[in-house]
Structure 1
Amino acid sequence: MKPVRFYGSRLFRHLPVVDDNMVLQGMVTDRDLRSARPSTILDEDERQRILDRVSMAPVKDIMSEKFYCLDEESTIDDALQFFTIHRIGALPVVNAQDQVIGIFSLNDMMAAYRCLFGLGEKGSMLVSIKDTGELGLLSTLVRALDDKNIRCTRLIRSPGREGRVPPAIYLRVNTFNLSSVHQVIEDAGFTLLPPDRINREVL
């Protein structure tokens, strides 16, 4: 069975099954393959007989016919919801004719969010600030940074978690002198939150 050899040589964990027109029929995952393999408690001859039989079986005999997929207009937030709710690691992407045009994996999503939030950019630093809820707070913050020619690339306002984590403002700045950025923010009347505050919010 080709998927067995393919998984073994390429380390892929999710493979779409398509018909002659590339229309999605199902998915074969590493879990499907493990389920098809014989139990380790069987004697060697019996295990080999089952392995031989499985290796000749068509993919449709072991594929999952219940699956989820994304279309061309789906967002990375859509993918995140699928990954979180259904605990899956990859989703086939189909066009309007249900033809497979790609696979979107957890790694793809992480790479997309890294780009979206500026992780790994040269000189990129994340700063956490206490959110008092005052009107015009974000405008005041951005203006204070602009006045000092500090480039702010991302700005996020988080409501926090009731009883656990207070509201906060996260901003990502391009700088190699983070202490000077902190000083500008404090001089503008803001309260910096410690680094562990960011970790608690993420977790």
Structure 2
Amino acid sequence: MFIQYSMTPEPVTIGPDLPVTEAAAMLSQKSFRHLPVVDEDGRLLAMVTDRDLRSACPSSVLSHDDRAQVLEKVKETRVREIMSTDYVTLHPTSTLDDALLLFKTRSIGALPVVDDQNRVKGIFSLNDMMAAYRRLFGLGEKGSVLVAIEDTEDRPPLGVLVTALERENVVFTRLIRALGEGREPDMLYLRVNTMNIRSVHRIIEQAGFTVHIPVVQP
């Protein structure tokens, strides 16, 4: 699945000369936590996060006078003074796998999406990624059930399973092969739309496959 189908398009952007207080007000009024900083042509210069803005604001533990003094200084601070130029980007043709690896290695909550000219086309957040994977795996679809099938060396070809399901008019939307790790065996995960899961289990087993029922060890 490509990022361009799951990103938030045309995100709110700011210029580097915007006062920090205005940027903070924008984030407090919205449901996002990241602001791309762009030049006049919409090309990405940096990123600003709610953490950056909180760090620039006076601490609540300061005295009233000290806090007021710091706040006056903050009002004169521009975004360019706190923005981070150490950013990574995605391209609209990047994949969910690309984004997942960046989220894992960089420990960040959102990634700007830019075109070949570095113009901001969207933003892709952790929430966007979870929503994309929900669609990819069919989570929450009405009547949708996930069936685990043991992926053993002696199982029949997958075509046999597909033919059996289609012959019995079982609607399936995903068939995923997953290599096991540790104590988890290799599996086939089949997502079907059914109100009679026992019937689906019977069709699978008659086709020569084994439905996996986990056993809880005492």
In the superposition, the TM-score normalised over structure 1's length comes to 0.89
Letter in 2 for 1:192: V
Cα separation, partners in 2 of 1:112 and 1:47, compared to 1, 3 Å = same
Find the residue that maps to 1:125 and give its secondary structure.
Answer: strand
Task: Select which of 34, 43, 46 maps to 1:14.
Answer: 34
Structure with greater helix percent = 1
Counterpart in the other structure of 2:132: 112
Q: Equivalent of 1:28, from 24, 45, 48?
A: 48
CA distance in structure 2 between the aligned counterparts of 1:135 and 1:173, rounded to whole angstroms? 20
Shift of 1:152: 1.8
Shift of 1:188: 2.6
Q: What is the aligned counterpart of 2:103 among 83, 103, 120?
A: 83
Distance in 2, matches of 1:104 and 1:156, equals: 25
TM-score (normalizing by structure 2) = 0.83
Q: Please state how far the C-alpha of 1:176 moved relative to its aligned partner.
A: 1.4
Partner of 1:146: 166
Question: Contact (CA 8 Å) 1:27, 1:65: kept in 2 or not?
Answer: yes
Displacement of 1:136 after TM fit?
Answer: 4.0
Measured in 1, the distance between the counterparts of 2:27 and 2:215 equals: 40
Specify the alignment match of 2:77 in structure 1.
Answer: 57
Shift in alpha-carbon separation, 1:123–1:196, aligned structure 2, 3 A: farther
What SS does the aligned partner of 1:73 have?
coil
Structure 2 match to 1:171: 190
For 2:65, the equivalent position in structure 1 comes to 45
Distance 1:78 1:122, change over 3 A: same
**Contact 1:128/1:195 (<8 A) preserved:** no
Cα displacement string for residues 141-193 of structure 1 (whole angstroms, at most 9, x for unaligned residues) = 222212211122111111100x3211111011111111211122223332222
SS at match of 1:2: helix
Tell me the secondary structure at the aligned position of residue 142 of structure 2: coil
Q: Distance in 1 between matches of 2:154 and 2:105?
A: 35
When the two structures are aligned, how many residues end up with a matched partner?
196
Aligned partners of 2:129 and 2:209: how far apart in 1?
Answer: 33
Instruction: Give the RMSD, CA atoms, in angstroms.
Output: 1.9
In the aligned structure 1, how far is the partner of 2:161 from the partner of 2:75? 63
Deviations 1:112-158 (CA, angstroms, capped at 9, x unpaired): 22222222222211100111123643222222212211122111111
C-alpha contact 2:174 2:190 (8 A) present in aligned 1? yes
- 1: distance between equivalents of 2:32 and 2:65? 29
What CA distance in whole angstroms lies between the structure 2 residues aligned with 1:196 and 1:100?
Answer: 50
| Residues in 2 aligned to 1:33 and 1:104: alpha-carbon distance in whole angstroms | 20
- Structure of greater relative contact order (alpha carbons < 8 Å, 6+ residues apart): 2
Unaligned runs of 5+ in 2: 1-20
Q: Is the 8 A contact 2:156 2:208 kept in 1?
A: no
Percent of paired sites with the same residue: 54
